[in-house]
Amino acid sequence: MTFPPMIASYIVASAAPSSSPVEAIRHAQKAADEAYKTTLDSTALDDSPSQKLFRRMAGVDAPSNPEADRRAALAAAAEAFINNLPMLTSRRNTQAFIGAVAYGMACGYIKGKEAREFLYNAQLALAAFPARKRKTK
């Protein structure tokens, strides 16, 4: 789904800094919340040509429809959540990514096939990083 520039600016990726799973989830959830609120606010304004275009892009051709507006806001939130997942640049970030993907699945931001692809990529990333050195007793 493509969003108008006013919404897309809230969806732009801003990967979580090197973080724990909790921090990664907070970062992605904050982006999702902002996208959801902004989308709802922008779709509820009026029936101007830009609003009609937005609703058409969201797959709804009717005048202001609260259910369609909510679906568009949820789609924007899901896209924002995914775009703000941590990058797979370190073992710690990959673990945070896995935790955030699990949270995204529970919230409905990430669907089954997409989640499998994300988790497979995380598995590959973990395999590529050097093994942790175990402490000997």
Q: What is the pLDDT of residues 99-118, one digit of tens each?
A: 999 999 999 999 999 999 99
**93 or 64, greater pLDDT:** 93
Report the pLDDT value the prediction gives residue 18, as an integer from 0 to 100: 60
State mean pLDDT over 11-39.
Answer: 82
42-79 tens-digit pLDDT:
766 556 676 667 667 766 655 567 788 889 999 999 99
- Segments forming the whole domain that contains residue 82: 20-128
The token duo for 49 is 């040509």
Q: What angle do CA 61, 108, 83 make, to 5 degrees?
A: 80
> Has residue 27 got a pLDDT over 90?
yes
Sequence-distant (6+) residues with CB within 8 A of 41 are none
Whether 8 is in a domain gets the answer: no
Does the pLDDT value for residue 8 go beyond 50?
Answer: no
Structural domain includes residue 47: yes
| 26 pLDDT higher than 80 | yes
The pLDDT value given to residue 7: 47
State phi, psi for 64 to the nearest 5 degrees.
Answer: -40, 120
Tell me if 13 is assigned to some domain. Answer: no
Q: Is residue 133 one of the residues assigned to a domain?
A: no
d(CA 110, CA 89): 21
Start-to-end CA span in the chain (Å):
54
In the chain, the number of structural domains is 1
Q: What integer pLDDT is reported at residue 15 of this predicted model?
A: 59
Q: Are 62 and 47 in contact (CB under 8 A)?
A: no
Q: In 65-111, where does DSSP find H-type helix?
A: 66-83, 91-107
Instruction: Confirm whether 113 is domain-assigned.
Output: yes
The predicted structure's pLDDT at residue 118? 97
Phi and psi at residue 84, in whole multiples of 5°?
-110, 20
**Cβ neighbours, 10 Å, residue 29:** 19
